[in-house]
Amino acid sequence: MVMYGHTSVLLQESLTLLSVPHEPVLMIDATLGLAGHSIAFLEKYPGLQLIGIDADASMLEEAEKRLYPYKNRCTLVHQFFDDFFINFSKGGQKADIILFDLGVSMVHFKEARRGFGLMEDEILDMRLNAKTGRTALDLIEMSSERDLVRILKQYGEEQYAAAIARAIVRARDAHELKTARDLADLVKRTVPARVRYGKIHPATKTFQALRIAVNDELGRIERALEPALYSLAPSGCIGVISFHSLEDRIVKQTFMRYVQKKSVNKYADQKSSKSVLKTPISSVDVHSDSSMLSLELLVKKPISACQEEVRQNPASRSAKLRAARRIG
């Protein structure tokens, strides 16, 4: 895969907010991508050790090339970030910096050949991990019209969800829906004429909704954030860059649960009860750390890209950065 030029969003803001006064530093980049953020942190902290996670094997392969000058300081993991943190939080190792850059990279839209881009003659795949799970076309084939309406409303906040779902079902049953271009053209024909030719393609929300559903993106964020917080060392920092309100809402609500409050780490001290005694002891979570968790917000409101960054990188227009520090 020849990688499309990629610019990391809110890079300087991330470097400034997610700072620690000591070295060595352990950083977890939960969404490694092309490693733009990670390289900047590796250069800032000569003693930093990096764990980079990505669900996309092709992205991880490219990131490994870019991280070659720092290879002795990097461990790369091919995994979804929720699966990683659920396991990592149960161990004894703690991270000083954790960064999430949510959503998908421009590389996926331009070069992944999986139907992320609206106007491409590519099969409707949309999986971040191309080796597992159902494709967007599978989802369309197996979903009822009611299910499709729910997906478009819940994950795309699509105003014309009912009409689009009805059109998708008709096209699906007539075997007229195979590629990303097929779907984009279908949505464009379906929505009212007044919204067909705006700055944003009328199928954008439909594609977003299907992609989120295929990859369980919101569910993965919900499952990952809390164990990620418990993976922080005392005074460790976490930053999350989101790109739409659905993601940002989850981040905000999760952070606020721990601001100036101490909560028992439910990822620690989990012991088997009589109800699970038939489960082999090796598969039961047993931990000795019963630490408490409290956060302080590093910014009261999320940071957005400045006008200059938006001018140079339009993809940063909707980016929001929230950050917090563990204080307990």
Q: What is the pLDDT of residue 23?
A: 87
Q: What is the pLDDT of residue 271?
A: 38
Q: pLDDT tens digits, residue range 27-53?
A: 999 999 999 999 999 999 999 999 999
Q: pTM of the entire structure?
A: 0.85
- Selection from 28, 224, 216, 225 nearest residue 132 by Cα: 216
- Selection from 94, 95, 56 nearest residue 77 by Cα: 56
Q: What is the pLDDT of residue 105?
A: 60
Query: Quick one: which H or E segment has residue 257?
Result: helix 245-258
Q: What is the pLDDT of residue 123?
A: 86
Q: Using the predicted structure, report yes or no on whether residue 54 has a pLDDT greater than 90.
A: yes
Q: What is the pLDDT of residue 106?
A: 58
Q: What is the pLDDT of residue 130?
A: 80
Q: pLDDT tens digits, residue range 177-194?
A: 989 999 999 999 999 999
Band the pLDDT of 285: cuts 50, 70, 90: very low
Report how far residue 11's alpha carbon sits from residue 199's, in angstroms, rounded to the nearest whole number: 27
In the chain the domains, ranked by start, together with CATH numbers, are 11-107+218-326 (3.40.50.150), 112-216 (1.10.150.170)
Q: Using the predicted structure, report yes or no on whether residue 143 has a pLDDT greater than 50.
A: yes
Q: pLDDT tens digits, residue range 55-77?
A: 989 889 999 999 999 999 999 99
Band the pLDDT of 272: cuts 50, 70, 90: very low
Band the pLDDT of 83: cuts 50, 70, 90: very high
- For the chain, percent of residues with pLDDT exceeding 90: 70
Q: What is the pLDDT of residue 131?
A: 84
Q: pLDDT tens digits, residue range 191-247?
A: 999 999 888 899 999 999 999 999 999 999 999 999 999 999 999 999 999 999 999
Q: What is the pLDDT of residue 269?
A: 42
Q: What is the pLDDT of residue 260?
A: 66
Report how far residue 197's alpha carbon sits from residue 219's, in angstroms, rounded to the nearest whole number: 33
Instruction: With beta carbons less than 8 A apart as the criterion, state whether 59 and 107 touch.
Output: yes
Q: Using the predicted structure, report yes or no on whether residue 112 has a pLDDT greater than 50.
A: no
- Selection from 241, 196, 165, 260 nearest residue 8 by Cα: 241
Q: CA torsion angle for 222, 226, 228, 230 (degrees, to 10)?
A: -170
Q: Which residue has the higher pLDDT, 100 or 8?
A: 100
Name the E strands within the chain: 25-29, 48-54, 74-78, 95-101, 232-242, 263-264, 292-293, 295-297, 303-304, 320-326
User: Under 8 Å CB-to-CB from 12, ≥6 apart: which residues?
Assistant: none
